[in-house]
Amino acid sequence: MYLRFCSPAAALRLAALFVCLALARPTFAQDTSALETFRAQYDVMMSNFESVLAARGDTSGQARAVRGRDAMRALTDDQLAAVFSRSRLPDLSAAVAASHSLAVLAASRKTIVGSNQFSPNSAGLPEPNPITSGCNGVDTDPATRYDLLIAKEVTNSILAAAAWVCNEDILGENGSAACISLVIAADVANGFFDTATFCDGEVTGNEIDANFDRLSHIHDDLAADLATIVNNDNANTTAIKNNDNANAATIVANDNANLVTIINNANANKNELRDLILRTQIEADLAMTDSSAIVELYALPTANGGYLNLVTFIVTDTIAKIQAAGGSISNAPASLTAANAAKAAGDFKGAYKLYRQAYKAAGK
């Protein structure tokens, strides 16, 4: 026994094996055991198809599956052997397994689930178009569609293997009584696969349409809000500029005021330091011996650009502080009085000499 042909295109299909087996070289003797195995496999497969149709509520399809089972039971072994007289008796084990998976899934999934269910994540977004009611209960899961493909290819290959016998069509259905069961099985399996393929396309198409509608929805919302965003941005820009301008005047005014204060403080500190240095220099000169030379600037009154008035203040202040502290000031007051009299009389050098004596007397 050998395979008659199996094209490269067919080899790429998932169920190519079953097509090739259906077209295999015939065996001329079909034993009773093989025929019974085929009958049992066919009955289980059609029973599973019937369960799938029942889960969908397809009473017409159920009746058709029952008719196929009855037609197979009505065939004699000779009739069944004659159908496959020019080919080997097919093995339906793959189709039985696939139809069993379909029946189990159909029993647990009465409505479209998984990728067929839509639940928008964002409120207000357009929802997908509803799926046609004819797809209710149709499972389009990839694993399910794979099982449907196996069932479709197996039943089609069986019908193709019996093509030499099943060659008469009456009103769209094969007229040979021996081929009715095969035609019905292929018809039901093809109907399952075609429906699942169509419904899966509907689901995908509706999801694509929904994605487009939602993208359009978001685009329109953004376009509608764009003017508001721009106006708000412009208003904020104006407010920020106005606030900056107002603050700029305040900052400049505050800076100017701080600058005046800083300059005044700097001048005060400068004058204080200057006066301190000048006082210490004058006091150092007042502490010199009577015969020491006089710094002429110290012996001139303020009106003449000198510091004699400051000298008077220093000596008077020093005597008062020493006296207040309980110290001995000797004859300093008498010398101070004489110095003031000489200053008043215009004897500025004589006054300075007396101030020097009063300062040193208070310091002894």
Q: What is the mean pLDDT of the chain?
A: 79
Are the CB atoms for 175 and 168 separated by under 8 Å?
A: yes
User: Per mean pLDDT, which of 30-39, 82-91, 193-202, 271-280 is the most reliable?
Assistant: 271-280
- Is pLDDT of 18 > 60? no
Which of 289, 311, 290 lies closest to 300 in space, CA to CA? 311
For 19, 196, 356, the CA distances from 290, given in Å and listed in that order, are 143, 132, 7
Closest CA to 204 of 121, 124, 129, 110: 129
Which tokens hold the place of 282?
């004058």
To which residue do tokens 């977004």 refer? 125
Cα dist from 79 to 87, 145, 177, 346, whole Å: 14, 33, 9, 165
90 φ, ψ to 5°? -65, 155
Tokens 């685009």 belong to: 219
Question: 14 pLDDT exceeds 60?
Answer: no
Q: Is residue 163 scored above 50 in pLDDT?
A: yes
Q: What is the mean pLDDT of residues 337-345?
A: 95
Give pLDDT tens digits for 230-241: 888 888 988 888
The per-residue pLDDT for 185 is: 83
Mean pLDDT of 52-62: 88
pLDDT band at 285 (very low <50, low <70, confident <90, very high): very high
Pick the closest to residue 69 from 41, 42, 36, 100 (CA basis): 42
Question: 75 or 158, which is more confident?
Answer: 75
Closest to 353 (Cα-Cα) out of 295, 307, 313: 295
Q: Is the pLDDT of residue 53 over 80?
A: yes
pTM given for the model: 0.45
Is residue 315 predicted with pLDDT exceeding 60?
yes
Most confident of 23-37, 53-67, 106-120, 180-194: 53-67
Q: What is the pLDDT of residue 30?
A: 55
Residue 287 phi/psi, 5-degree rounding, is -80, -5
Q: What angle do CA 140, 144, 150 make, to 5 degrees?
A: 125
Backbone angles phi, psi at 121, to 5 degrees: -85, -25
Count CB-CB contacts under 10 A for residue 284. Answer: 9
Kindly compute the dihedral angle of the four CA atoms of residues 158, 164, 165, 169, in this order, to the nearest 10 degrees: 90
Does position 90 have pLDDT exceeding 60, yes or no?
yes
Q: Tell whether the model's pLDDT for residue 12 goes beyond 50.
A: no
Average pLDDT (123-132) is: 71
User: Which range, of 56-65, 83-92, 318-327, averages the lowest pLDDT?
Assistant: 83-92
Give the integer Cα–Cα distance in Å for 103 and 108: 9
Question: Residue 279 has what pLDDT?
Answer: 93
User: Which pLDDT does position 123 carry in this prediction?
Assistant: 62
Residue 311: pLDDT over 90: yes
Q: What is the pLDDT of residues 171-230, one digit of tens each?
A: 344 446 667 787 888 888 888 888 888 888 877 777 787 777 778 767 777 777 777 888
CA 257-260-264 angle, to 5 degrees, is 140
Q: Report the percentage of the chain scoring pLDDT > 90.
A: 27
Task: Using DSSP bridges, classify how beta strands 173-174 and 169-170 pair: parallel, antiparallel or unpaired.
Answer: antiparallel
pLDDT at 15: 47
Residue 245 or 115, more confident = 245
Q: How many angstroms separate the CA atoms of 43 and 59, rounded?
A: 18
136, pLDDT greater than 50 = yes
pLDDT value for 124: 66
Helix (H, G, I), strand (E, B) or coil at 127: coil
* Res 288 pLDDT > 90: yes
> At residue 7, does pLDDT exceed 50?
no
Q: 126: left (phi > 0), else alpha (psi -120 to 50), else beta?
A: beta
Between 27-36, 37-46, 97-106, the lowest mean confidence (pLDDT) is in: 27-36
Give per-residue burial for 76-107: e unless 16+ CB within 10 Å, then b: eeeebbbbbeebbbbbbebbbbbbbbbbebbe
